[in-house]
A and B are shown apart, each in its own frame.
Chain A
Amino acid sequence: MKKNNRDESITVKSELYVKVEDNNFLLNFLPVFSVLFGLLLSGLMMLLLGHNPLIVYSNMLNYAFRDIYNIADIFAKATPLILTGLAFGFAFRASLFNIGAQGQFYIGAVLAVGFALKLSSFPMVLVLFICFTMSLVGGSLWAAFIGYVKARFNANEFLVSMMLTYVAIAVMNFLLGGLLKETKGEYPQTDVIPESGWLPSLIPHTRLHWGFVLALLVALIAYLILWKTSLGYKIRMVGFNRDAARYAGINVEKIFVIVFFISGAFAGIAGFTEVNGMQHMLIEHFNPLIGAEGIGIAILGGAHPLGIVLSAFLFGALKVGGNLVVQTSRIPASIIGITEGLVILSVIFSYFIRDKLIILRSKKKLVSKERKRL
């Protein structure tokens, strides 16, 4: 009996999403505080460089919300981050670790750019539909392999997904050096795709495109799958307690493959929105941190689609404001990455504080209840 107790406390502790039962003001705003704390820490790094963090941050805010173009850019930058965040968050709900969203993103991007280049004579709707489908299928099959070897051979999924990222980079570089190389043949990059393959813009004269709406839809779909379908119920059950799920008759191995398939689809679609909506071409070393940032966003958003969308907006704003601050002052661009890392770490720290607070409050409640009874 005692042993069972301990096991339970371990599973509860190890989850990011301990259920908050009482609506305490402080608890609900803990993520906000932790973001501010992370910003404070990276402000200290700026002090090291001899910059006043207050001025830097106010510049960042000013730049990010200066005009409609920049505001739209925040959401354009957030688009692929929502998708890679969902890729990690969705698998995390099943206690699986897909840290290879970067690779799935590249496979999706390669397929999207390839089909957009080859199908230039087709009508726009058809080109976009084919690019979308191919990047989705490519990303999901690439990831389904991880789920398959996890299910069939009990291979360590985060090791395999990480290693597959490096393989995907090699595949992309190989294609950029040969099959997909620009007609000038100078740099390892593709030609600009014909306009029939461009995602139409959402707000004219900005970079925001319909891919953003697509990303929001995908987030909604992820929510619906997880909380409104029996498949989602099974996925979350596998996440909470794999053994219990197995005893309840769920084919856990099948869930592994399905989860990775869906998770990879999200990351693959990110490749589509980046190629067809944003860059309109593929370059070597293209968005090299998008997978890692997705993981951070999923952690920050508590692996919930709504949280992920909001966190992606935050990271988008950091990127837009940060990039402009970096361009206009002598602060190195890597400060944006550091800020992101510190924010994530302080969010993890806040999970510890939240657990403590919840335990403290439930203890207090228990004490007052016992007192009343006496």
Chain B
Amino acid sequence: MNVITGLLVATIRMSTPLMLGALGEVFVERTGVMNIAIEGIFLMGAWGGFVGAYLTGKLWAGFLFAILVGIFCGAIYGYFTIKLKQHQIVTGVAINILTVGLGLFLYQLLFGIPLLPLTVEPLKDISIPFLSDIPIIGSALFSQNILTYLAVVLVAVGYWVLFKTPLGLIIRSTGENPEAVDVAGINVERIRFITVLGSSALDGLAGAFYSIGFLGLYTNEIIGGRGWIAFAICFLGNWDPLGILIGSLIFGFAEGLSVVLLTSNFKLIPNEFLIAFPYILTIVATIARRQFNVPAFLGKPYIKERG
């Protein structure tokens, strides 16, 4: 029983940042822009979260700083891809390369090269009284940290905004038919840019979840492709907040399973396979999943006709 509870707790915990990242990605891709820089923004968010929390001693400052760092990276990405209309994949890859060096550089700039990794006290779990005492599922669902609750709420709000409000209609139309949006008098580039900033803020928060949400430290390998997995979940969830809720839980389970098995004495499967499991699952899911909600103008810059 203990193992199952542990697995459920780990599942929900590991799916939190994926949910945040994938939700941002859904919004931005609905406007027709792929945020390829997601992996790098996760990393910078992890860095920002740790630095903010370590220097001020307050976790909320860390999360705030992570969001700001995320927005800053998003602004660079948005400027290159939306304003300058450069290739999204190429720009995203360039930013990802840059952040790998930058994360380490800025860490060493502030702290030198410490012998032991510096740590902060990570975010505490909030147990909801009575509900968290339910056997097996109680602590998994009702004894998580505040970001997990926030992520679930944001997904629900995201679904409502995207499908039930005029703003959501504008966002979806921008990716399906930018010309029509333009003719209706709405600035396509502005909508896209703001959405990129918003999604990058979520990515920064998601990155900070890894550094100060539960580990309490920063290393340059802390993200290790989780940004790409969030990116994949957006595709696999069919650009729908509810789809990504399910997708994040599946990948959270895959990661939770490998974490639980790695820490247990179960030695039948090699560790490396357990580590590779979420990535293999992504490949299998990418191959198996039929995609039918692809925004028509995904990845294409909008060039206004003149004259």
Q: Are A14 and B300 in contact (CB under 8 A)?
A: yes
Q: Which residues of A310-351 have CB atoms within 8 Å of chain B's CB atoms?
A: 332, 334-342, 344-345, 348-349, 351
Q: Count the A residues whose beta carbon is within 8 Å of the partner chain — how many?
A: 54
- The distance in angstroms between the C-alpha atoms of A344 and B95, with both chains bound, is 9
| Given known A-B contacts A16-B87, A174-B270, A345 and B283 have beta carbons under 8 A apart | no
Query: Looking at the complex, which one of B108, B113, B279 makes contact with A167 (CB distance below 8 Å)?
Result: B279
Q: Which of B91-122 contact A (CB under 8 A)?
A: 91, 93-102, 104-105, 108-109, 113
Knowing A16-B87, A341-B97, say if A332 contacts B280 (CB, 8 Å): no
Given A332-B105, A338-B98, A349-B84, answer yes or no on A155-B286 (Cβ-Cβ < 8 Å).
yes
Q: Are B305 and A345 in contact (CB under 8 A)?
A: no
Q: How far is the CB of B140 from chain A (nearest CB, A)?
A: 27
Q: In the complex, which residue of chain A has the Cβ closest to the Cβ of B87? A: A14
Once the chains are docked, how many angstroms separate the CA of A159 from the CA of B108?
Answer: 31
A292 CB to closest chain B CB, in angstroms?
Answer: 5
Chain B min CB distance to A266 (Å): 17
Q: Give chain A residues whose Cβ lies under 8 Å from the Cβ of B76.
A: 345
Say whether A338 contacts B89, CB under 8 Å.
no
Is A49 an interface position by the 8 A CB rule? yes
Q: Is the interface of B mostly helix, strand, loop or mixed?
A: helix
Asked if B272 and A173 make an inter-chain contact with CB atoms under 8 angstroms apart, the answer reads: yes
Per the bound structure, the CA–CA distance linking A42 and B131 in Å amounts to 53
CB-CB < 8 A to A352: which residues of B? 84-86
Interface presence of A295 (CB below 8 A): yes
Q: Are B108 and A162 in contact (CB under 8 A)?
A: no
In the bound complex, do residue A332 and residue B108 qualify as a contact, i.e. CB atoms below 8 Å apart? yes
Q: Is B194 an interface residue (CB 8 A)?
A: no
Contacts of B266 in A (CB 8 A): none
Does B228 belong to the interface (CB within 8 Å)?
yes
Q: Contact between A296 and B303 (Cβ–Cβ < 8 Å)?
A: no
> Is B108 a contact of A166 with CB atoms below 8 Å?
no
Within 8 Å of chain A (Cβ to Cβ): is B90? yes
Interface residue B72 (Cβ < 8 Å from any Cβ of A): no
Q: Does A164 reach chain B (CB closer than 8 Å)?
A: yes
Residues B84 and A13 in contact, CB atoms below 8 Å apart: no
A245 to B: closest C-beta gap in Å: 18
Q: Which residues of A contact B275 (CB under 8 A)?
A: 170
A337 touches B100 (CB 8 A): yes
A155-B287, A166-B279 given as contacts; is B301 within 8 A of A14 (CB)? yes
The one of B96, B270, B282 that contacts A159, using a Cβ cutoff of 8 Å: B282
Contact B94 A13 (CB under 8 A): no
Please measure, in the bound complex, the distance between the C-alpha atom of A177 and the C-alpha atom of B271, giving whole angstroms: 10
Task: Give every chain A residue within 8 A of B102 (Cβ-Cβ).
Answer: 334, 337-338, 341
Interface contacts (Cβ under 8 Å), in number, total 151
Q: Complex: how many Å from CA A167 to CA B286?
A: 15
Residues of B within 8 A of A163 (CB): 225, 228, 232, 279-280, 282-283, 286
Asked whether B94 lies within 8 Å of A344 as measured between CB atoms, the reply is yes
CB distance from B74 to the nearest CB of A (A): 15
The reply to whether B105 and A292 form a contact with Cβ atoms under 8 Å apart is: no
Output the least CB separation between A166 and chain B (Å).
Answer: 4
Q: Is the CB of A171 within 8 A of B100?
A: no
In the complex, the answer to whether B225 meets A340 with C-beta atoms within 8 Å is no
Shortest distance in angstroms between A329's beta carbon and chain B's nearest beta carbon?
Answer: 13
Task: Judge whether A97 is part of the interface by a CB distance below 8 angstroms.
Answer: yes
Q: State in angstroms the CA–CA spacing of A177 and B272 once bound together.
A: 10
Give A66-92 as 1s and 0s: 1 = Cβ < 8 Å from B's Cβ atoms. Answer: 000000000000000000000000000
Indicate whether A6 reaches chain B with its CB closer than 8 angstroms.
yes
Q: Does B273 contact A (CB under 8 A)?
A: yes
B300 to chain A, nearest CB (A): 6
**Out of B101, B104, B301, which one reaches A13, CB within 8 Å?**
B301
Taking the nearest CB of chain A, how far is it from the CB of B51, in angstroms?
Answer: 15
- A345–B40 Cα gap in the complex (Å)? 14
Q: Are B97 and A167 in contact (CB under 8 A)?
A: no
Q: Is B276 an interface residue (CB 8 A)?
A: yes
Q: A156-B286, A173-B272, A334-B108 are in contact. Are A299 and B94 (CB under 8 A)?
A: yes
Given A167-B276, A171-B272, verify A292-B93 contact (CB < 8 Å). Answer: yes
Complex partner residue of B97 from A97, A156, A162, A296, CB under 8 angstroms: A296
Within 8 A of B (CB), among A156-180: 156, 158-160, 162-164, 166-167, 169-171, 173-174, 177
Residue B235, interface by CB 8 Å: yes
Asked whether A295 and B97 contact (CB < 8 A) given A14-B87, A174-B270, A348-B86, the answer is: yes
For chain A, residues 123 to 169, give those with C-beta under 8 angstroms from any C-beta of chain B: 149, 153-156, 158-160, 162-164, 166-167, 169
Other contacts beyond A13-B303, A14-B301, A153-B287: 15, CB < 8 A: A10-B300, A14-B87, A48-B109, A155-B283, A160-B287, A164-B279, A167-B280, A170-B275, A174-B270, A292-B97, A332-B109, A334-B102, A337-B105, A342-B98, A348-B91
Where the two chains meet, the residues of A that have a C-beta atom closer than 8 Å to any C-beta of B are: 2, 5-6, 9-10, 13-14, 16, 45, 48-49, 97, 99, 149, 153-156, 158-160, 162-164, 166-167, 169-171, 173-174, 177, 289, 292-293, 295-296, 299, 332, 334-342, 344-345, 348-349, 351-352
Return the 9 tightest CB-CB contacts between A and B, nearest first: A337-B101, A341-B98, A170-B276, A174-B272, A334-B104, A334-B105, A338-B101, A166-B279, A170-B272
